[in-house]
Amino acid sequence: MYLKELCELNGISGNEKPVRDFIVEHLKQQVDEYKIDKIGNLIVRKQSSDGLAGDTETKRAPVVLLAAHMDEVGLLITEITGEGFLKFATVGGIDPQILISKTVLCGNNIPGVIGCKAIHLQKREERKQTLSINDLYIDIGAGSKEEAEKNVKIGDYVAFASEFAEFGSGLFKAKAFDDRAGCAIIMEIMADRYPCSLVGAFTVQEEVGLRGSKVVSNYVQADLAIIIEATAARDTTEKREEEWVVELGKGPACSLMDALTIYKPELIARISDLAREKGIPLQFRRGTAAANDAGNLHLAGSGIPSITLSIPCRNIHSMNSLISKQDYENCLALVRLILNKCHTLI
């Protein structure tokens, strides 16, 4: 399993190189070819088990595109104050409320702590207001701007300091499950051959507007696309079960519709039947907000029938997210099943 190593790498949107290098190092002997495009997407290809490279015109070997994004949310230094504190902007969607007192790694792994005005010093009106990014700063222990500039600079990325761990009863804890979980599954898939040709797209800058997949959609064509993601679970914060969206421990979640994609009902029905026949738990994402790389990939060329399978994740986009080990394994098993039965779906 590559999940631990991937989650502990820092690869904020626009700075995915450490993640990409890790994937290349571990896959270069397992795939038939790989390339890195000009925006930084990593594309790997593997022929079908019968040796055919795949031809979308003759259908001799179906082509299946597997996609997951390498980037994670994080911060970017925008100012160094005279006192040596760092001001920052968010890269991707982060709730400022989760950042207070958290440990981060700035630039070349310089440790820092995110701070704000102590509640003891806040006026009554200030206490009633929601904190914004402008209210926060990073303290790296510098006594002046000059001292801080010896270690960091404007434009440096700031990542969450977090270690992967097994947690509770069958859970994993880490940052960046969105979407290192998807990357890890594709890496495991690439160890074998299937009755279809595989194209693995490890995309960049998904968290800031699906930018990498837009580039991929310009040159990759396939008969089927499987986007593997993590999605927010609300099975702790909502009283009514119908508002939970997805639940941990109930298997991967299949999307029906999101902000950019309406998925083909007949394709979802076939995949649901396959999962049921093999006893693989599958739930449906009960929500339509947000989007993922499917928004671009299903529009590639003449169109690619697409599905999104997501691993439910509590505390998504934070330094300590939680997923179920069983959900991860069941998602991997379902993707393998789809690839082995792809001729019945295309």
* Statement to judge: residues 215 and 314 lie in one domain: yes
Q: Establish how many alpha carbons lie within 13 A of residue 224's alpha carbon, considering only the half-sphere containing its beta carbon.
A: 25
* Statement to judge: residues 61 and 128 lie in one domain: no
Whole-prediction pTM value? 0.94
- Interatomic CA distance for residues 47 and 181, integer angstroms: 24
Distance of CA 93 to the CA centre of its chain: 12
In a domain, 319, yes or no: yes
Of the candidates 102, 128, 160, which is a domain's last residue?
A: 160
CATH number for the domain spanning 289: value is 3.40.630.10
* Statement to judge: residues 94 and 66 lie in one domain: no
Percent of the chain residues topping a pLDDT of 70? 92
In a domain, 46, yes or no: yes
**What would the mean pLDDT of 55-63 be, rounded to a whole number?**
68
Of the candidates 109, 129, 160, which is a domain's last residue?
A: 160
pLDDT at 131: 80
* Statement to judge: residues 88 and 52 lie in one domain: no
Residue 234 — pLDDT band, cuts 50, 70, 90? confident
* Statement to judge: residues 241 and 313 lie in one domain: yes
Report how far apart, in Å, the C-alpha atoms of 21 and of each of 11, 16, 337 are. Answer: 11, 9, 29
- Interatomic CA distance for residues 65 and 23, integer angstroms: 17
Q: What are the phi and psi torsion angles at 224 (to 5°)?
A: -155, 140
CATH number for the domain spanning 115: value is 2.40.30.40
- Interatomic CA distance for residues 197 and 39, integer angstroms: 24
In a domain, 237, yes or no: yes
**What would the mean pLDDT of 108-120 be, rounded to a whole number?**
86
Does the annotation count 146 as an active-site position? no
* Statement to judge: residues 286 and 150 lie in one domain: no
Question: What does DSSP say about strands 86-91 and 165-167: parallel, antiparallel, or unpaired?
Answer: unpaired
* Statement to judge: residues 179 and 41 lie in one domain: yes
pLDDT tens-digit map of 37-57:
999 999 999 999 886 665 555
Q: What is the mean pLDDT of the chain?
A: 93
- Interatomic CA distance for residues 42 and 36, integer angstroms: 5
Whether the Cβ atoms of residue 335 and residue 191 lie closer than 8 Å to each other: no
Domain span holding position 192: 3-72+175-344
In a domain, 29, yes or no: yes
**What would the mean pLDDT of 72-87 be, rounded to a whole number?**
98
Give the chain's domain count: 2
In a domain, 222, yes or no: yes
* Statement to judge: residues 47 and 187 lie in one domain: yes
* Statement to judge: residues 32 and 145 lie in one domain: no
* Statement to judge: residues 106 and 37 lie in one domain: no
Residue 238 — pLDDT band, cuts 50, 70, 90? low
Whether the Cβ atoms of residue 202 and residue 68 lie closer than 8 Å to each other: yes
In a domain, 167, yes or no: no
Instruction: Please identify which of the residues 16, 57, 163, 206 carries the catalytic annotation.
Output: 206
Residue 236 — pLDDT band, cuts 50, 70, 90? confident
Q: What angle do CA 24, 29, 35 make, to 5 degrees?
A: 45
In a domain, 169, yes or no: no
**What would the mean pLDDT of 67-77 be, rounded to a whole number?**
98
In a domain, 166, yes or no: no
Structure tokens at 278: 């093999």
- Interatomic CA distance for residues 215 and 204, integer angstroms: 10
Q: Rank 50-64, 106-120, 221-235 by mean pLDDT and report only the highest.
A: 221-235
What lies within 8 Å, CB to CB, of 209 at 6+ separation is: none
Structure tokens at 165: 């761990």
* Statement to judge: residues 128 and 183 lie in one domain: no
Of the candidates 116, 137, 160, which is a domain's last residue?
A: 160
* Statement to judge: residues 26 and 65 lie in one domain: yes
- Interatomic CA distance for residues 68 and 199, integer angstroms: 11
